[in-house]
Amino acid sequence: MSANLLLVGCGKMGGAMLAGWKAAGAAAAMVVVEPHGQPRGLPADVQVVTDAAAIPAGFRPDAVILAVKPQMMDQALPAYARYAGSALFLSIAAGKPIEYFERHLGPEAAIVRAMPNTPAAVGRGISAAVPNARVGEDQRQLARTLLSAVGEVAWVDDEAQIDAVTALSGSGPAYVFLLVEAMARGGVAAGLPADLAMQLARATVAGSGELLRQSHELAEQLRRNVTSPKGTTEAALDVLMQEGPGGLHNLLTRAIAAGTARSRELAG
């Protein structure tokens, strides 16, 4: 499925998604609205304009992808209400609920709210998405095509779950990067040179992630497979899996709860 796409905002996430659409052949034609001018590295056949008034009069988008920063949405959104009723609106803006877009775009607007994450930049993202009642089956499939061009797609039935999605997978890459930092720091404390410790930590996390992606076994089983009784892994896991506030399970549960609460606050 290829479609006429109007991308509003071409920052890191918008640019990553655009690259995925081009690679997957998802775009029949594309116009990008970017107030800061021509982004680097765009294909020559992508037309860039600096505001909505400069969109070619004959261009009829099948999807309007809203990728501007949430704090800029109030200013940007009204210019695209003219496409309500004909185009799908796909929002990847954090903290903006479907009700917000319905209020600004009108009752005819077909809206999918999605939360992708930064591994989309290498085609390994995951996006959770929720549609409003105006989204038809063809538009749902279009949204799936656009999101799956940069990774996996999961649909949720309840928009309230998007706050937890934001905290788990939207913010999740930062937790993994922090894990690499912490592993490397632990290696240095155990006597390794800093550059070697970081090399080992990065490769271990990246390789483990790929093993997890390709394996049919649960993460719990993969962990058990690595853990020999009375061995070095078990000794380390006894620290990480301890009961109480210092254990990794408890820390991540608290972290995701905090992120979920903040997402709800931002949504108003």
Q: How far is CA 138 from the centre of its chain?
A: 22
pLDDT above 70 (res 158):
yes
What was the pLDDT predicted at 10?
Answer: 86
Q: Are strands 27-33 and 110-115 parallel, antiparallel or unpaired?
A: unpaired
Nearest of 159, 96, 156 to residue 126 by alpha carbon: 156
State yes or no: pLDDT of 215 exceeds 90: yes
* Cα–Cα distance measured from residue 55 to residue 33, given in angstroms and rounded to the nearest whole number: 8
pLDDT number for residue 16 = 86
pLDDT in tens, 87-135: 999 999 888 999 999 999 999 999 999 999 999 989 999 999 999 999 9
Residues of the chain with pLDDT > 70, as a percent, come to 98
Residue 186 confidence (pLDDT) above 80? yes
pLDDT band at 214 (very low <50, low <70, confident <90, very high): very high
Mean pLDDT confidence for 140-152: 95
172 pLDDT above the threshold of 90: yes
Query: 19-28, 176-185, 193-202 — which is least confidently predicted?
Result: 19-28
Say what the pLDDT of residue 22 is. Answer: 85
The answer to whether 64 and 88 have CB atoms below 8 angstroms apart is yes
Specify the pLDDT at position 14: 87
Q: If pLDDT is split at 50, 70 and 90, which confidence band does 1 have?
A: low
Beta bridge partners of 127: 153
Burial environment of residue 79 by CB neighbours within 10 A (0 to 12, 13 to 18, 19 or more): middle
User: Locate tokens 């920063």: which residue?
Assistant: 69
Burial of 87 (0-12, 13-18, 19+ CB in 10 A): buried
Look at 2 and 252; give whichever has higher pLDDT: 252
pLDDT of amino acid 44: 74
Q: State how far the Cα of 19 lies from the Cα of 50, in Å rounded to an integer.
A: 20
What type of residue is 169? S
* Confidence (pLDDT) at 202: 98
Sorted by sequence, the CB contacts under 8 Å of residue 110 that are 6+ apart come out as 84, 87, 88, 89, 131, 132, 134, 135, 136, 139
- Predicted confidence at residue 106, as pLDDT, reads 93
Residue 245 has pLDDT above 70, yes or no: yes
pLDDT tens per residue, range 3-53? 999 999 988 888 888 888 988 888 888 999 988 776 776 777 788 898 999
Nearest to residue 74, comparing CAs of 56, 57, 95? 95
